[in-house]
Chains A and B, each alone.
Chain A
Amino acid sequence: MEIILSGILIFMILGAIYAIHARDLLSALISCGIVGYGLVICFLLLKAPDLAIVQIVVETITLIIMVSVVLVSTRFELDKEPGFKHKSRLNHQLLGHILIAVFIGIVLLYSFRLAIMHLDSFGDHTLRMSEAYLEGAAEKTGSANLVTGVLFDFRGYDTFGEATILFTAVVGILTILRIKGRK
């Protein structure tokens, strides 16, 4: 399963890189969607259907809102000719940058490999708190879905904070966007 996951992750990274370099805003948005929907498949493969449902709905809504904003705005990038020049001469500064990037990459790969070698195998939990949550959570909270039991019973205060964050975001957006209120 790690092979499939890393394939999807590479696909998501390619989509993100294309979104930066795309000359059209609409195609950049659609390649942003690759990242979100790839994440949905990752959540499903890692057996987290709760997160997958939230991610697929939120991704669709944000894409719809952003596409409707882009379609109304004036798109200057369609009028321009692709006229930038490629500088192909390899000067000393560029060579220095490439050397620094390769050096940092090698150091990061070595340290990641050191860190991963000392981890447990995939899926083992070592935290004592999670074992206390998993043992008899259905009898303690009465909810058959363990995720909801943790969210609304063990961590009810956290969930209240998340809902308050959404409330604050709405208040901020209404304050900034309304023109009538400013007059």
Chain B
Amino acid sequence: MKGMSIIVKKVTQLVSGLMFLYGIYIITHGHLTPGGGFAGGAILAGSFILLVLAFGSDLLKLKKREEGSSVVESLAIFAFLILGVMALFIGTHVFFKNYLPAGTVGNLISAGVIPLYNIFVGIEVGAALFTIFLALAIFKEEVLE
């Protein structure tokens, strides 16, 4: 996939970092403000998709493979499962039990395991959407060759 014009490239350089930071903010404040893992992960994937669309798929040293994002996605969902299973061995033996101390409501570090779940679901959703986009782009290049 080829890149776009220099105006699009400059605006992308300015905007994509802000989009990435906003996605991280939505994920980490998921237990305080509206949003959470799914919305923040989609925003993260959006910033990467914007970069690839503007600069072409030569960016990020892609070289016709999407194993990187696919491996990240699989690892994230594996960590999510491990966090859920660990509740079976700690305290009361209940699957997906909130076993960390809850803290005070409204602080950034509170709500036990929920922020960790949010972070891993965010990584999983972002990597999954980006993998789908990369698979479509790479498939197009392979057909056009």
Contact = CB atoms under 8 A, between A and B. Distances in A.
Contacts of B46: 57, 60-61
A6 interface: no
Specify the main secondary structure of chain B where it touches its partner. helix
Contacts, number: 137
Chain B interface size, under 10 / 10 to 19 / 20 to 34 / 35 or more: 35 or more
A64 B124 contact: no
Interface string A141-183: 1111101110111001101101110110110011001111000
Contacts of A57: 39, 42-43, 46
A119 B76 CA distance: 43
Given A61-B46, A143-B111, A68 B117 contact: no
Contact of A174 (B38, B49, B66): B66
Interface residues of A, number: 43
Interface stretch (A13-21, A48-56, A74-82, A120-128): A48-56
A142 B112 contact: yes
A153 B74 CA distance: 22
Contact of A142 (B96, B103, B128): B103
23 contacts: A49-B34, A60-B46, A61-B49, A64-B53, A141-B98, A142-B31, A142-B103, A142-B111, A143-B32, A145-B30, A145-B33, A148-B31, A148-B111, A148-B114, A149-B111, A156-B95, A157-B84, A163-B125, A167-B124, A169-B132, A170-B128, A174-B131, A177-B136
Interface of A: 49-50, 53-54, 57-58, 60-61, 64-65, 68-69, 72, 138-139, 141-145, 147-149, 151-153, 156-157, 159-160, 162-164, 166-167, 169-170, 173-174, 177-180
